[in-house]
A and B are shown apart, each in its own frame.
Chain A
Amino acid sequence: MTAQRRTTPTAPQASHAAPHSPPTLPVIIRVQIAIRLFMIQSAWNYELLLGNGVGFCIEPALRRLPGGKGGVAYREALARESQYFNAHPYLAAVAVGALARAELDGAQPARIERFRTALCGPLGSVGDRLVWAGWLPFCSLLALAAYGLGAGPVAVLLLFLGLYNAGHVGLRAWGLSVGWRNGMRVASALAVPVLREGPAHLARAAALVAGIALPLALGRAIGPGRAVLGGVVLIVALMGTLAARLPAWLQGWRLALGVLAIWIAYSLATYTVVR
């Protein structure tokens, strides 16, 4: 049955306008895939990682395979696409688009599996550097700078959520589109300057904003403690230098929890002594 499908050069329901132009995918299916992409990590686990999520996202497109939903081609493709997969959740859209195209184009299963494996590394590392280590801290620090400059709750939230999600949703939409358009030739499309040089530019911009945001946020948040602001800035500089040298297992938030617990205990002890 599989061989029969593979002899068909194009999937019957995915019409090709020209040899090199992408087949069309109905808007409703694109929308279904796009919505499902936001849920790609809901069944994340240490065995399949994103694997089941990729199958879940591609599933609407697979219904267009010969035999339709529940057909042999559909079931084989869904099983293949639901195996182990790892990538950044936003850039996984590239893989979903490309793999959906490969399946509907009738590519050989072995080639699809090799291609799928090859996509994991780049989509994971580029996404982590671009989003988690670049875009997210940049937006977060910009929101902290706005807070430090006196912005109110609504302004801070709108700035952070608006800016972050413009990049977030844009990246997912671009990923799905470029993946579908290029199919198994998507590697060349991933060499765009934004993905190659974007993380470094973002890191520099975020570093600049960090320098501005930290003292400003500290200055506003300290409130009545402003009289001791100079001392606090010096202590923060010293403690920050030490925090940067902490071993990986002793993360700063653990240390913060410990210091706060000691401070609370000290305050309670002070009350008892004064009484």
Chain B
Amino acid sequence: MPDLHLVSLTAVGAVLGLDAVSFPQAMLSRPIVASTIGGAMVGDPVAGLLAGAALELVALETLPVGASRYPEWGSASIVGGALLGSYGETAPGGLSVTLFAAIATAWIGGWTMVQMRGLNGLMARRFRVAINAGSSTAVVGLQFAGLLADLLRGGLLTLTALLVFEPLMHATLGVWGASPRYSRAVSIGVAASVASGAVWKLFRGTAGARWYLLCGLALGLVVMTFL
């Protein structure tokens, strides 16, 4: 991957990592958006969209609820989109390795978010006296320090993931032995399985929702056969 791509992807990864929680939570960090952007940045938005759709299926399961711990999809999806975009969506095994790399990055990203929240807590304790005295410098400073820390976290995560997974993907695809057709089917099948389990868990508690789901499923399967 050229250095220029590495720098620009790191910068965008930082911004999208920031979007997940700190600013502005406009869901630019959702896989379907971030991965498409990653693909577009290396010249293949369609491959980015494919990786994004697959990751979005997986991400349906994790809701960013308050203090819960969940994977951080923003920076991870930029990495996923850029990896698949670099090799093209038809590269045998490309989608499998991309999904593996992106989900692993999202997992590590979730861990870094927990660490960053710990750091924010540490800073809050340090500024405790000033905050309790109503110091605007402390309140505003703590907020911007958190923003900056999250930006750096997202950037570092993106850069590290690209530096680790790009050569790994190159090496793996060079010796890929499984059928390209089955590789793609396994990757998408795994993502769709996670999504269908998530959808069931999400809506089963709502009265009547399971009937809406079944009606939609019937309609979707009919349309799918004609496409």
Which chain B residue shows the least CB distance to A57? Answer: B143
CB contact between B32 and one of A147, A200, A269 (< 8 Å): that residue: A147
Contact across chains for A242 and B188 when beta carbons are under 8 A apart: no
Does B219 make an interface contact (CB < 8 A)?
yes
Q: Give the chain A neighbours of B89 by CB distance below 8 A.
A: 223
Contact across chains for B139 and A253 when beta carbons are under 8 A apart: no
Contact across chains for B217 and A211 when beta carbons are under 8 A apart: yes
Distance of A239 Cα from B21 Cα, bound (Å):
31
CB contact between A168 and one of B26, B132, B189, B210 (< 8 Å): that residue: B26
Given contacts A156-B49, A221-B53, A259-B190, contact A128 B65 (CB under 8 A): yes
Chain B residues within 8 Å of chain A by Cβ, number: 115
CB contact between A153 and one of B40, B100, B125, B221 (< 8 Å): that residue: B40
Contact across chains for B177 and A243 when beta carbons are under 8 A apart: no
Which chain A residue shows the least CB distance to B36? Answer: A153
Given contacts A52-B139, A156-B36, A261-B100, contact A214 B220 (CB under 8 A): yes
Distance of A3 Cα from B63 Cα, bound (Å):
45
Contact across chains for B33 and A160 when beta carbons are under 8 A apart: yes
Chain A residues within 8 Å of chain B by Cβ, number: 115
Does B2 make an interface contact (CB < 8 A)?
no
Given contacts A42-B147, A43-B142, contact A75 B209 (CB under 8 A): no
Does A7 make an interface contact (CB < 8 A)?
no
Contact stretch, chosen from A8-16, A78-86, A186-194: A78-86
Q: Give the chain A neighbours of B48 by CB distance below 8 A.
A: 153
Does B6 make an interface contact (CB < 8 A)?
no
Distance of A132 Cα from B64 Cα, bound (Å):
7
Distance of A83 Cα from B2 Cα, bound (Å):
47
Contact stretch, chosen from A22-30, A105-113, A173-181, A227-235: A227-235
Q: Give the chain A neighbours of B56 by CB distance below 8 A.
A: 140, 143-144
Contact across chains for B193 and A253 when beta carbons are under 8 A apart: no
Contact across chains for B192 and A52 when beta carbons are under 8 A apart: no
Distance of A5 Cα from B155 Cα, bound (Å):
47
Distance of A237 Cα from B221 Cα, bound (Å):
12
Distance of A228 Cα from B212 Cα, bound (Å):
27
B104 to chain A, nearest CB (A): 6
Given contacts A42-B150, A59-B136, A207-B210, contact A253 B202 (CB under 8 A): no
Does B99 make an interface contact (CB < 8 A)?
yes
Q: Give the chain A neighbours of B21 by CB distance below 8 A.
A: 41, 44
Contacting A at CB under 8 A, from B158-183, are: 172, 175-178, 180-183
Of A241, A261, A267, chain B has the most CB atoms within 10 Å of the CB of A267
Given contacts A79-B134, A147-B53, A210-B203, contact A235 B63 (CB under 8 A): no
Contact across chains for A268 and B175 when beta carbons are under 8 A apart: yes
Q: Give the chain A neighbours of B25 by CB distance below 8 A.
A: 38, 41, 89-90, 168
Does B7 make an interface contact (CB < 8 A)?
no
Contact across chains for A218 and B192 when beta carbons are under 8 A apart: yes
Contact across chains for A124 and B125 when beta carbons are under 8 A apart: no
Return the CB mask of A244-259 against B: 1 if under 8 Å, else 0: 1010000111111101
Contact across chains for B103 and A256 when beta carbons are under 8 A apart: yes
Q: Give the chain A neighbours of B107 by CB distance below 8 A.
A: 253-254, 257
Distance of A73 Cα from B206 Cα, bound (Å):
47
Contact across chains for A200 and B188 when beta carbons are under 8 A apart: no
Does B4 make an interface contact (CB < 8 A)?
no
Which chain A residue shows the least CB distance to B21? Answer: A41
A167 to chain B, nearest CB (A): 10
Distance of A45 Cα from B217 Cα, bound (Å):
41
Q: Give the chain B neighbours of A98 by CB distance below 8 A.
A: none
CB contact between B96 and one of A136, A217, A224, A267 (< 8 Å): that residue: A267
Q: Give the chain B neighbours of A139 by CB distance below 8 A.
A: 27
Does A215 make an interface contact (CB < 8 A)?
yes
15 A-B pairs with C-beta separation under 8 A: A41-B21, A45-B146, A59-B136, A88-B66, A133-B63, A137-B63, A161-B27, A165-B26, A168-B25, A204-B203, A224-B180, A236-B196, A246-B197, A264-B172, A272-B177
Closest 5 CB pairs of A and B: A211-B216, A243-B197, A240-B196, A75-B134, A271-B177
Q: Contact residues of A with B, CB < 8 Å?
A: 38-39, 41-49, 52-53, 55-56, 59, 69-70, 74-79, 82, 86, 88-90, 124, 128, 132-133, 136-137, 139-141, 143-145, 147-150, 152-154, 156-157, 160-161, 164-165, 168, 200, 203-225, 227-229, 232-233, 235-237, 239-244, 246, 251-257, 259-261, 263-264, 266-274
